[in-house]
Structure 1
Amino acid sequence: MISWRKHYRQTLIAIGLLLSTSASIYGQDGDPKNGEKLFKANCTACHALDKQVIGPALKGVVARLETEQGLGKDWLYKWIKNNKELRASGDKYANEVFEKFNKTEMQVFPNLTDKDIDDILAYTTNPPEPAPAKTDAAKDTANAGSANAAPQSSTTTNVVIISLLAIAGLLVWILLKLRQLVKLGQSEDLAGLNETRVKSFREIYEKYHYIGKGLIAILALLAAYGVWNWIMWIGVYKGYKPEQPIYFSHKIHAGEQKIDCQLCHSSAKYGKVSEIPSMNVCMNCHRTISEYNAEHYMEPGKDKAFYDGEIKKIYAATGWDPEKQQYTGKTQPVEWTRIHNMPDFVYFNHAQHVVAGEQAIINSFNKKNPNNKIDVVCKACHGKIDTMNVVQMANDFTMGWCIECHRTTEVDMNNGYNKEYFKNLHDKLKKQYPKDGGKITVDAIGGLECGKCHY
Structure 2
Amino acid sequence: MISWRKHYRQTLIAISLLLSTSASIYGQDGDPKNGEKLFKANCTACHALDKQVVGPALKGVVARLDTEQGLGKDWLHKWIKNNKELRASGDKYANEVFEKFNKTEMQVFPNLTDKDIDDILAYTTNPPAPEPAKTDDAKNTANAGSANVAPQSSTTTNVVIISLLAIAGLLVWILLKLRQLVKLGQSEDLAGLNETRVKSFREIYEKYHYIGKGLIAILALLAAYGVWNWIMWIGVYKGYKPEQPIYFSHKIHAGEQKIDCQLCHSSAKYGKVSEIPSMNVCMNCHRTISEYNAEHYMEPGKDKAFYDGEIQKIYAATGWDSEKQQYTGKTQPVEWTRIHNMPDFVYFNHAQHVVAGEQAIINSFNKKNPNNKIDVVCKACHGKIDTMNVVQMANDFTMGWCIECHRTTEVDMNNGYNKEYFKNLHDKLKKQYPKDGGKITVDAIGGLECGKCHY
Superposition deviation, residue 326 in structure 1: 1.0
Superposition deviation, residue 107 in structure 1: 1.1
* Equivalent-residue separation in structure 2 for 1:213 and 1:317 (angstroms): 66
Instruction: Tell me whether 1:220 sits opposite 2:241 in the alignment.
Output: no
Tell me what 1:417 maps to.
417
- Please say which of residues 413-422 and 322-331 is displaced more in the overlay: 413-422
Superposition deviation, residue 267 in structure 1: 0.4
Residues 291-345 of structure 1: CA distance to partner in whole angstroms, max 9, x if unpaired? 1111111111111111111111111111111111111111111111111111111
Residues 20-59 of structure 1: CA distance to partner in whole angstroms, max 9, x if unpaired? 1111111011111111111011000011111111111111
- SS of residue matched to 2:268: coil
- SS of residue matched to 2:334: coil
* Equivalent-residue separation in structure 1 for 2:182 and 2:432 (angstroms): 81
Query: Contact conserved, 1:251 with 1:388, CA < 8 A, in 2?
Result: yes
- SS of residue matched to 2:270: coil
Query: Contact conserved, 1:61 with 1:124, CA < 8 A, in 2?
Result: yes
* Equivalent-residue separation in structure 2 for 1:287 and 1:324 (angstroms): 12
* Equivalent-residue separation in structure 1 for 2:389 and 2:45 (angstroms): 25
Residues 406-428 of structure 1: CA distance to partner in whole angstroms, max 9, x if unpaired? 11111112323323332333343
Query: Contact conserved, 1:242 with 1:337, CA < 8 A, in 2?
Result: yes
- Please say which of residues 185-194 and 306-315 is displaced more in the overlay: 185-194
* Equivalent-residue separation in structure 2 for 1:145 and 1:309 (angstroms): 32
> Unaligned regions of 5+ residues in structure 1, if any?
none
Structure 1 residues 161, 265: closer, same or farther in 2, change over 3 A? same
Q: Percent of pairs identical after alignment?
A: 98
Superposition deviation, residue 390 in structure 1: 1.0
Residues 225-262 of structure 1: CA distance to partner in whole angstroms, max 9, x if unpaired? 22222122111111111111111111111111110000
Superposition deviation, residue 82 in structure 1: 1.4
Instruction: Tell me whether 1:384 sits opposite 2:384 in the alignment.
Output: yes
TM-score (norm 2): 0.92
Superposition deviation, residue 347 in structure 1: 0.7
Tell me what 1:53 maps to.
53
Structure 1 residues 147, 368: closer, same or farther in 2, change over 3 A? closer
- Please say which of residues 146-155 and 293-302 is displaced more in the overlay: 146-155
Query: Contact conserved, 1:356 with 1:415, CA < 8 A, in 2?
Result: no
Query: Contact conserved, 1:346 with 1:454, CA < 8 A, in 2?
Result: yes
The CA RMSD over aligned residues, in Å, is 2.6
Structure 1 residues 364, 162: closer, same or farther in 2, change over 3 A? closer
* Equivalent-residue separation in structure 2 for 1:335 and 1:186 (angstroms): 76
Tell me what 2:437 maps to.
437
Structure 1 residues 163, 411: closer, same or farther in 2, change over 3 A? closer
* Equivalent-residue separation in structure 1 for 2:5 and 2:304 (angstroms): 59
- SS of residue matched to 1:212: helix
Structure 1 residues 6, 327: closer, same or farther in 2, change over 3 A? same
Residues 354-402 of structure 1: CA distance to partner in whole angstroms, max 9, x if unpaired? 1111111111111111111111111111111111111111111111111
* Equivalent-residue separation in structure 1 for 2:146 and 2:87 (angstroms): 62
* Equivalent-residue separation in structure 1 for 2:88 and 2:224 (angstroms): 83
> Unaligned regions of 5+ residues in structure 2, if any?
none
Structure 1 residues 147, 427: closer, same or farther in 2, change over 3 A? closer
* Equivalent-residue separation in structure 1 for 2:414 and 2:206 (angstroms): 73
Superposition deviation, residue 171 in structure 1: 6.5
Superposition deviation, residue 175 in structure 1: 5.8
Superposition deviation, residue 142 in structure 1: 6.4
